[in-house]
Amino acid sequence: MLVLGDRPIGVFDSGLGGLTVVRALRASLPGTSIVYLGDTARVPYGVRSASTVVEYAKRCARLLRTHDVGCVVVACNTVSAVALPMLREMLDVEVFGVVEPGARAGLAATRSYRIGVLATRGTVVSGAYERAVTDVEPSATVVQQEAPLLVPLAEEGWLDGPVAGAVIRSYLEPFRGTGVDTLVLGCTHYPLFRRVIEEQLERLDLGNEVTVVDSAGAVAKVLVEAVGVSPGSGSLRIHVTDLPSRFREVAARFLGDSVDDLCVQQVDLQ
Q: Which is nearer to ligand DGL, 84 or 151 (CB)?
A: 151
Residue pair 158/164 in contact (Cβ under 8 Å)? The answer is yes
Sign of CA dihedral 199, 129, 135, 227: negative
Residue 154 interacting with ligand DGL (CB under 6 A) = no
> Which ranges in the chain belong to alpha helices (H)?
19-28, 50-65, 77-90, 99-109, 121-126, 128-136, 150-156, 161-172, 194-204, 215-227, 247-255
DSSP 66: T
Q: How far is CA 101 from CA 65, 82, 243, 245, in A?
A: 23, 15, 30, 33
Known catalytic residue: 76? yes
Partnered with residue 263 across adjacent β-strands are 237
Question: Please, which residue, 155 or 181, has the CB nearer to ligand DGL?
Answer: 155
Number of CB atoms found within 10 A of residue 229's CB: 11
Q: Which of 32, 145, 188, 211 binds ligand DGL (CB under 6 A)?
A: 188
| Residue whose CB is nearest to ligand DGL in the complex, by number | 46
Site string for ligand DGL, 207-236 (x = CB under 6 A): ------------------------------
Maximum separation of any 2 CA atoms in the chain, in Å: 51
Using CB under 6 A, pick the residue from 11, 64, 168, 187 that binds ligand DGL: 187
Which of 60, 71, 76, 263 is catalytic? The answer is 76
Question: Does the footprint of ligand DGL cover residue 151 (CB under 6 A)?
Answer: yes
Has 71 been annotated as catalytic? no
Task: Please select the residue that binds ligand DGL; options are 72, 76, 84, 236, rule is CB under 6 A.
Answer: 76
Is there binding between residue 43 and ligand DGL (CB under 6 A)?
A: yes
| 13 versus 130: smaller Cβ distance to ligand DGL | 13
Give the residue, chosen from 33, 78, 145, 241, that forms a contact with ligand DGL under the rule CB under 6 A: 78
Interface with ligand DGL includes 189 (CB under 6 A)? yes
Q: Does 104 bind ligand DGL (CB under 6 A)?
A: no
| Interface with ligand DGL, residue 123, by CB under 6 A | yes
CA–CA separation, 270 and 85 (whole Å): 20
Shortest distance, position 202 Cβ to ligand DGL, whole Å? 25
Q: How far is CA 267 from CA 60, 61, 162, 262, in A?
A: 10, 13, 38, 16
Query: Which amino acid, 42?
Result: R
C-alpha 238/C-alpha 34 separation (Å) is 8
> Measured from the CB atom, is 120 or 200 closer to ligand DGL?
120
Among all residues, which ones are annotated catalytic? Answer: 76, 187
